[in-house]
Amino acid sequence: MRFGLIISISKALLLARWKQTLVAAIGVTFSITMFITLLSFMTGLNKMLDGLILNRTPHVHIYKEILPSEKQPIDYTSDAHNFISSVKPKNDLLDLRNSSVIMKSLRDDPRVLGVSPKVNVQVFYNIGAVDLNGVLNGIDVVEENRLFSFSEYVVEGDYQELKSVPNSIVLGKGAAEKMLASIGDNIQITTSRGERVQLKVVGYFQSGIQDIDKVQSYVSLTTAQKLLGESNSYITDIQVKLRDMNKAPEIAKEYKQIYEVEAVDIQTANAQFETGTAIRTLISYAVGITLLIVAGFGIYNILNMMIYEKMDTIAILKATGFSGKDVKRVFISIALTIGVFGGLFGLFFGFLISSGIDQIPFKTEALPTIKTYPINYDLRYYLIAGIFSIVTTYFAGYFPSRKASKVDPVVIIRGK
């Protein structure tokens, strides 16, 4: 009964000064709306930018690096200290030894989501008398698409023809424009071994990074091995996708020791990029939370004014048997009512504005797969906004309510 009476009194006080109540609720609504909109847009933008690099980057990259021998022949014949200059790398192939055994072991690892082998081929694109530097990536088409969303970056043509059409190529968009090569055309390349080969263009690849698109193209694993004159076991790189990307650094170190190869984790390879993403997200949270705190101060000021204006009402409540705790509950319930309703409308309008932004066309040559502005509809941001609006308004009402609970009704009534 007492609880229902407190709610009724709170409702009466809210409606008695409905303009002030409306201003406070609008403040909360605006703060929550901007918090949701800002975080949804900024994290959506971060996710899009991350996708340009991280979606195409393995969590662990295994490869072989040609390095000078640690011990030279003279070191085996003499115990003296030898000074040797201009040491050249040892004569060795770039392929990974026992690559099939390594890949089988990786696929059996429960931490691994998938494995995609690759063969890098240095080539020249032949355009009449002009040769352009290029890199062909020989890929397992099915695994490359499953793990690294390869099809999303093929802006024209059918990437699956790499499997079915012999000597076919998905040409980098920048290289295709330089060569004036259309889908269905045959282009000529020269391998690092001096052999000239014709490849049929079955698609265009566009990563959104212009320098890469001018150089990088894709062929099937079999075609790459054939261009190098190597067997089907020739693999230069193994790309590993993990179930948990955060474990990449420790797993990369483990693989390096076990297989005696070079292994680079995604955090090391993209340290600068990840730092930028973290800073942008931090700024978004800081701005959003600042807006909510400002709205909390607005509610605090309004409740303070309401207490001064309602001193006689508070005195009468206490004179008729309401305790200081009851008075405190009245004003806290007023603040929470403003926070809950303002927060709910803020969540609604935040979602509405985010949806509107998501429909705005966004077309750029650098990002061919993006059609509209990126928005992230993560439920976590809505939960954070809702909880923070309630917490902020609770404290905004708590401090004025403490002051109201200490009002002496005798002093107020005598003053009246």
Between CA 26 and CA 22 the distance in angstroms is 6
In this prediction, residue 186 has a pLDDT band, given cuts at 50, 70 and 90, of very high
Least confident of 13-17, 79-83, 87-91, 136-140: 87-91
**In residues, how long is the chain?**
416
Q: Is the pLDDT of residue 70 over 70?
A: no
Share of the chain above pLDDT 90, in %: 25
Between CA 133 and CA 217 the distance in angstroms is 11
Pairing of the two strands 168-172 and 196-205: parallel
Indicate whether 20 and 64 sit together in one domain. no
Indicate whether 178 and 297 sit together in one domain. no
298: three-class secondary structure by DSSP: helix
Indicate whether 33 and 72 sit together in one domain. no
Between CA 251 and CA 267 the distance in angstroms is 12
Indicate whether 198 and 64 sit together in one domain. yes
Q: Is the pLDDT of residue 193 over 60?
A: yes
- Among 222, 246, 265, the domain boundary falls at 265
Q: Do the beta carbons of residue 360 and residue 41 sit within 8 Å?
A: no
Instruction: Name the β-bridge partners of 154.
Output: 205
What mean pLDDT do residues 373-391 have? 87
Indicate whether 14 and 121 sit together in one domain. no
In this prediction, residue 67 has a pLDDT band, given cuts at 50, 70 and 90, of low
Listed in sequence order, the residues at least 6 apart from 357 whose beta carbon sits closer than 8 Å to its beta carbon are: 37, 40, 41, 373, 375
DSSP 85: -
Q: Do the beta carbons of residue 216 and residue 118 sit within 8 Å?
A: no
- Among 230, 265, 300, the domain boundary falls at 265
Indicate whether 230 and 291 sit together in one domain. no
Q: Which two tokens stand for residue 111?
A: 């931490």
In this prediction, residue 92 has a pLDDT band, given cuts at 50, 70 and 90, of low
Q: Is the pLDDT of residue 415 over 60?
A: no
Least confident of 164-173, 178-187, 315-324: 315-324
131: three-class secondary structure by DSSP: strand
Indicate whether 9 and 82 sit together in one domain. no
| Model pLDDT, residue 297 | 76
Indicate whether 44 and 64 sit together in one domain. no
In this prediction, residue 80 has a pLDDT band, given cuts at 50, 70 and 90, of low
Cα–Cα distance list, 190 to 6, 32, 95, 204, 232 (Å): 85, 59, 20, 20, 21
Q: Do the beta carbons of residue 49 and residue 73 sit within 8 Å?
A: no
Q: Is the pLDDT of residue 258 over 60?
A: yes
Least confident of 34-43, 130-139, 191-200, 290-299: 290-299
In this prediction, residue 56 has a pLDDT band, given cuts at 50, 70 and 90, of confident
Q: Do the beta carbons of residue 149 and residue 53 sit within 8 Å?
A: no
Q: Is the pLDDT of residue 165 over 80?
A: yes
Q: Is the pLDDT of residue 1 over 50?
A: no
| Model pLDDT, residue 168 | 94
Least confident of 150-164, 223-237, 357-371, 373-387: 357-371
The count of domains in the chain is: 2
pLDDT digits (tens, 9 = 90+) for 108-124: 999 999 999 999 999 99
Indicate whether 215 and 313 sit together in one domain. no
Q: Is the pLDDT of residue 201 over 80?
A: yes
Which of 18-27, 28-37, 182-191 shows the highest mean pLDDT?
182-191
Domain that holds residue 296: 2-54+273-415
Mean pLDDT of the residues in the chain: 81
DSSP per position, 243-296: S-GGGHHHHHHHHHHHHTSEEEEHHHHTHHHHHHHHHHHHHHHHHHHHHHHHHH
Cα–Cα distance list, 236 to 111, 117, 146 (Å): 23, 8, 20
Cα–Cα distance list, 355 to 348, 360, 376 (Å): 11, 9, 10
Q: Which two tokens stand for residue 51?
A: 């996708």
Q: Which residue has the higher pLDDT, 75 or 146?
A: 146
Least confident of 245-249, 306-310, 373-377: 306-310
Q: Which two tokens stand for residue 354?
A: 């985010």
The CB-side HSE value for 326 (13 A sphere, CA atoms) comes to 19
Cα–Cα distance list, 213 to 128, 148, 415 (Å): 21, 17, 82
- Among 265, 290, 310, the domain boundary falls at 265
Q: Which two tokens stand for residue 69?
A: 């021998």
Q: Of 108, 169, 182, 177, nearest to 141 (Cα)?
A: 169
Residue owning tokens 């297989």: 259
Q: Is the pLDDT of residue 352 over 50?
A: yes
Listed in sequence order, the residues at least 6 apart from 365 whose beta carbon sits closer than 8 Å to its beta carbon are: none
Between CA 14 and CA 20 the distance in angstroms is 8
Indicate whether 278 and 338 sit together in one domain. yes
Indicate whether 144 and 177 sit together in one domain. yes
Indicate whether 282 and 329 sit together in one domain. yes
Q: Which two tokens stand for residue 96?
A: 């990974």
| Model pLDDT, residue 129 | 78
Least confident of 218-222, 264-268, 379-383, 392-396: 392-396
